[in-house]
Amino acid sequence: MKLVFNDNTSAHSVDLSASASGKSYRVRIADRTTELSLLNAENGRLEMLVDGRHVSAYVTVDGEKRWVTVNGRTAVLTKASGVTHKTAASDHPGQLTAPMPGQVRAVNVSVGDMVTKGQTLLVVEAMKMEIRVQAPRDGVVKRLFVKEGQPVEREQVLIEIVETSER
């Protein structure tokens, strides 16, 4: 799962994936790759083990903004809007893929539905976390490749959204 966050000065690319053991995450930011576990997350507070150190963080999702507090310092990051969960391998820009191996927990739309940008289309559960697959733009559901309960592989295509005119 590739994400880009902007602060005041520059864009930062974050690559988050499940580790081989399936018990933790691997995160790559610039040249630094780190193993981490999420110990607990509730009420906007995340407890993580980052390289074995205990880190508490507060994160608030506010539209595209991310208010983040770590070690008593607060930053406002902006999630870059281009980075929905589409695979680089896919030639179809409207095809959305699974960011990590998991299971489809919910399918909120049917083929032919009109969807709006940001709308949650499917929910994939991975590592007991919920990933909301959201529409990257306004459009129509052209094809659905998965159904509820189905296990999915990383980068497996889940759904295809096309512009209204393409239908």
Partner 1 sequence: MFSKILIANRGEIAIRVMRACKELGVKTVAVYSEADSHALHVQFADEAILLGASAPRESYLNIEKIISAAKQTGAEAIHPGYGFLSENAAFADAVTAAGLTFIGPSASAIRLMGDKAGAKAMMKQAGVPTVPGREALGSDKDFKKAAKEIGYPLLVKAAAGGGGKGMRVVERESELGEAVEGARREALNAFGDERLIVEKYVPDAHHIEFQVFGDGHRNLVHLFERECSVQRRYQKIVEETPSPLLTDELRARMGAAAVSVANAVGYTNAGTVEFIVDRATLDYYFLEMNTRLQVEHPVTEAAVGLDLVQWQIRVAAGEVFPYAQADLSQRGHAIECRVYAEDPASGFLPSTGKLLQYVEPRGPGIRVDSGFAIGDELTHFYDPLLAKVIVHAEDREAAIQRMQAALGGYVVHGVVTNVDFLQDLLAHNDFKNGAVATRWVETKFSWAPAGHAFEMLVAAALAEVSVSSVKNVSSVKYQVSGSDERDPYSPWKASSGFRN
> Checking DSSP bridges between strand 11-18 and strand 73-79, what pairing results, if any?
unpaired
Scanning 20-28, 89-97, 139-147, 152-160 for contacts with partner 1 by CB under 8 A, the matching segment is 20-28
Backbone angles phi, psi at 65, to 5 degrees: -80, 145
- Give the nearest distance from C-beta 56 to partner 1 in angstroms: 7
What distance in Å separates the CA atoms of residue 59 and residue 44, rounded to the nearest whole number?
5
Contact 96, 84 (CB under 8 A): yes
How many beta carbons lie within 10 A of that of residue 27, not counting itself? Answer: 18
Q: How many residues bind partner 1 (CB under 8 A)?
A: 66
How many beta carbons lie within 10 A of that of residue 67, not counting itself? Answer: 14
CA angle, 14 as apex, 109 and 30 as ends, to 5°? 160
Interaction of residue 63 with partner 1, rule CB under 8 A:
yes
Interaction of residue 122 with partner 1, rule CB under 8 A:
no
**Residue of 87, 90, 113, 123 interacting with partner 1 (CB under 8 A):** 123
Interaction of residue 61 with partner 1, rule CB under 8 A:
yes
Contact 19, 4 (CB under 8 A): no
- Give the nearest distance from C-beta 110 to partner 1 in angstroms: 21
- Give the nearest distance from C-beta 151 to partner 1 in angstroms: 17
Per-residue binder mask for partner 1 (CB under 8 A), 89-118, x = binder: ----------xx----x-------------
**Tokens matching residue 10:** 């520059």
Interaction of residue 59 with partner 1, rule CB under 8 A:
yes
Which of the 8 DSSP states describes residue 112?
A: T
Residue with tokens 């820009």: 93
**Residue of 92, 132, 142, 154 interacting with partner 1 (CB under 8 A):** 132
User: Which residues contact partner 1 by CB under 8 A?
Assistant: 1, 3, 5, 7-9, 12, 14, 16, 23-25, 27, 29, 32, 34, 36-44, 46-50, 53-63, 66-77, 79, 99-100, 105, 123, 125-132
